[in-house]
Structure 1
Amino acid sequence: MSEDRTYVCIDLKCFYASVECVQRGLDPFTANLVVADPDRTEKTICLAISPAMKDLGISNRCRVFEIPKDVRYTMAKPRMKLYMETSADIYSIYLRYVSPEDIHAYSIDECFIDATPYLSLYRMTAKQFAAMLMDAVFKETGICATAGVGTNLFLAKVALDITAKHVDDHIGYLDQAEFELTIQTHMPITDIWNIGPGIAKRLAKFGVYDLRGVCQMDEDALYREFGVNAEYLIDHAHGIEPCTIAEIQAYEPSSHSMGSGQVLPCGYSYDEGLIVLKEMADQLILELVEKHLVAESLSLYVGYEKEKDAEVPAEGYFDGGHGRRSIGARGNIPHTGGTRRQTDRTNLHSKLMPRFLDLYRETTRTDKPIRRINVGFGGVVPEEFATVDLFTDPEAEAEEKSLQKAMLAVKDKFGKNALLRGVSLTEKATARERNEQVGGHHA
């Protein structure tokens, strides 16, 4: 395999918590700080904890009640707008050293950089190059970072996740030889990027617990078990990743979808859930109009409150570094819903809203409290592909679209809460509060 390229994967350490510490003049490596909403119950998830708290053995993204009672800490209310602005500032620092074509933002606090052309330019080794970027970020923002260096994107990510934790400079390095020596036999296998507890459990059926075991498995058996996804598993088990940043940036999906979801603050009744559904569908339809798109299918997911005796999972928890979750939890949550293909492609509220309501009424249970609702559109294409039939009233449709665009113009100028439907003024509605949030948290 060719190793003529070098990639760097940089992660901002405990990002949200570090930003809050910097804002308060605290050292995140000595101060105990939790990013969580104090207005919510103790079951709310901590969006981040400071490195000092992680050193105490507290799990990242734990729930507030899981923090030991003898640990004193500061609770910071989430400020998503601040975190996004800080992330953008850090991205602009990277752009002083590298071209945007060589950066792939993986998340708000993590990115990949193709360092290949810059090592000769700056006359540095790959580790020196990573250290230069990390130092620049720290000097200007006070945010510490860790990094992984590898000869492909996968090796850089694994070097970040595993190797960087065990070196003094917090910069891990993996080439093919080092990967085969140290990572192929690493356990637990769930430490490896993109291998969660579900995949690990399926591999365990074959007596496989590390990547070397995957390499030794019969490939036909892997394809029977995992289908086409076996190809990624086999490549990664051998330390292979042919994809480049250039290919990621050039990628265009063959189909598009869009969606929205929220976890409700408490168990909602059937009728209360219907209120939230109407709000969510209304906003998603307006998003179609705003982006000049139409959809050919719609989907609904309604998740219900779990029984009390199912709170503690029998198989324990999985912590992938970005939060702890119960193994098999998603499969244990009772849910209903489905996907419906439409006879037309449209973005008209008068057509789409009744279809969402029908799907809700046909599939949603009335005897269990609702805790999560997701709505979505599939087969999303540009508006010029909207369909018409002999019963279409062009004038009525033009009038409705004009009204939808007027609503968007008002919201754009005066804020999302400047114009609301009456349903959003009821007690259990959530749209007004969510319109002031980013990603379900206070902006």
Structure 2
Amino acid sequence: MTIFMDYANETRRAVLCIDVKSFFASVESVKHGLHPLQSEVVVMSRGNQNGGLVLAASPKVKEKYGLKTGSRKYEFPRKHQMLIVPPRMGLYVRVNGLINQIFQQYAAKEDIHTYSIDESFVDITASYHLFGTSVYEVAQKIQRQIWDELRLAVAVGIGDNPLLAKLALDNEAKDTVSHIAYWSYESVSETIWKIPKLTDMWGIGSRTAKRLNTLGIYSVYDLSQADVTLLKKRLGVIGSQLYYHTHGIDRSVIAQKHIIPPSSKSIGTSQVLERDYTKREEVELIIREMTIVLSERLRQTGKQTSCVSLSISYSRTEQSKSWSKQLTISPTDQTRILSETLLHLFREHRENRAVRTIGLSFGKLVNQPYQQLSLFDEPERQVKASQLDKVVDQVKSHYGKTALFLASSLQESGTYIKRSQLLGGHQRDSTS
């Protein structure tokens, strides 16, 4: 017998999940006087190099050439009419601000949640009746206003809660003529249960999907009919949460900032190098620089990490595959300890190959109100190192990221100084 939920006691809200189609490429199209949906524009990092990375491609490029985010320049056809432009993160941030100003005409600031630079949730439960006779009509007005004022096309998912709005956006709205879709509690069996793959469900990645597969669950519908007690036993709280999500249940309220998915339990960064790094000391310098940046982020969040990860990808000219290793440590936020640990991982697993991409991640984040001293290091040294980190953070906060840096970063192989001038990992624009 099919399991259905009783939604009589569930709160119904009017939530919009709004996404700008191919945001970076669309903004560049508009700036170049082109139609964002008809132009052939590619935003590319290091576009003058054969290994240049596609950061965004206009819909026409995706359709005509099969290129997408993550494609490389060497994958481009020899003959094309694409306009290749460098990223201008400052411009994209400003345009995002203009979009949010439009949202604020329809909802209070606390009812708006910026999910990413190109996607936002807007809860218009308390205000939609001021602008139209239905939520759908208001969604159309917002969509039309963004086009009229900014010439950007947006897709809108509408739902009785943030989850349903997000699923409506990702699984229907982006592919419809109107670019608007509404998913309600009553439509769950015809919408959520028909989502093709487990990984198309919000909150389910490949690892979680594999764990569900071991339980005989291969589809969203299978998950909705599973034993919730067993799911919680095998997957913990996330198991029962996913079960209720397949029934469209989500009690988060945007104004309370309880938007799902929950805040990340890890932070990370990665860097595609401008050339192949063949010397060990060159790679180690980049690891040190990246550790400095990531440990600063860690301290800013008031967290400490108890699991560090390092991933290395080699040049495409090498035969070796990429690798990723992690190590559990005592909770810490100290740059010196984290740097030493990551360098240990690199030295233990490195191959004599040309490195092109480096990734770091700090996981299993914990709140640590006091400094936990290690038994394997002198207490006084640990305290001084922690104090030094705080002083360095304060100096950089006041005088800028390049006020203090490793002397070795002045070497040709160093990237810290150059990357400190970037925004979101990409070049700022000097003009709008």
Task: Specify if TM > 0.5.
Answer: yes
Aligned to 1:126: 135
Larger mean Cα displacement after TM superposition, 88-97 or 34-43:
34-43
Aligned to 1:31: 39
In 2, Cα distance between the equivalents of 1:292 and 1:226? 27
In 2, Cα distance between the equivalents of 1:88 and 1:301? 35
TM-score normalised by length of structure 1:
0.78
CA contact (8 A) 2:12 2:161 kept: no
CA contact (8 A) 2:13 2:161 kept: yes
Superposed CA RMSD in Å reads 3.8
The gaps in structure 1 that reach 5 residues or longer are 312-331
Q: CA deviation at 1:259?
A: 4.9
Question: What does the per-residue CA deviation read over 1:288-327, in whole Å, with 9 as the maximum and x for residues that have no partner?
Answer: 67x495747573414242887979xxxxxxxxxxxxxxxx
Aligned to 2:280: 270
Identity of aligned residues (%): 28
Q: CA deviation at 1:149?
A: 0.6
Aligned residues: 414
CA contact (8 A) 2:155 2:179 kept: yes
Q: CA deviation at 1:46?
A: 1.3
In 2, Cα distance between the equivalents of 1:44 and 1:77? 10
SS of equivalent residue, structure 2 residue 17: strand
SS of equivalent residue, structure 2 residue 130: helix
Question: Which residue, 43, 52, 59 being the options, matches 1:51?
Answer: 59
Question: Which residue, 6, 18, 22 being the options, matches 1:14?
Answer: 22
SS of equivalent residue, structure 2 residue 272: strand
Alignment of 1:22-421 (within 5 A): 22-39=30-47, 41-56=49-64, 58-63=66-71, 64-200=73-209, 203=212, 208-219=217-228, 222-223=231-232, 226-249=235-258, 259-265=268-274, 266-285=276-295, 291=300, 295=304, 297=306, 299-305=308-314, 333-341=322-330, 352=337, 355-356=340-341, 359-360=344-345, 363-370=348-355, 371-374=357-360, 376=362, 385-386=370-371, 392=380, 400=388, 404=392, 407-408=395-396, 412-413=398-399, 415-417=400-402, 419-421=404-406
Larger mean Cα displacement after TM superposition, 388-397 or 173-182:
388-397
Change in Cα spacing, 1:224 to 1:119, as seen in structure 2 (3 Å) is same
CA contact (8 A) 1:256 1:381 kept: no
Question: What does the per-residue CA deviation read over 1:38-77, in whole Å, with 9 as the maximum and x for residues that have no partner?
Answer: 4454444311111222333625314133344444210011
Structure number with greater CO (CA < 8 Å, separation at least 6) is 1
Question: Which residue, 409, 416, 425 being the options, matches 1:440?
Answer: 425
Change in Cα spacing, 1:42 to 1:225, as seen in structure 2 (3 Å) is farther
Aligned to 1:318: none
Q: CA deviation at 1:128?
A: 1.1
The gaps in structure 2 that reach 5 residues or longer are 1-6
Q: CA deviation at 1:15?
A: 0.3
Larger mean Cα displacement after TM superposition, 107-116 or 386-395:
386-395
Change in Cα spacing, 1:303 to 1:405, as seen in structure 2 (3 Å) is closer
Change in Cα spacing, 1:68 to 1:194, as seen in structure 2 (3 Å) is farther
Change in Cα spacing, 1:50 to 1:400, as seen in structure 2 (3 Å) is closer
SS of equivalent residue, structure 1 residue 36: strand
Q: CA deviation at 1:184?
A: 1.3
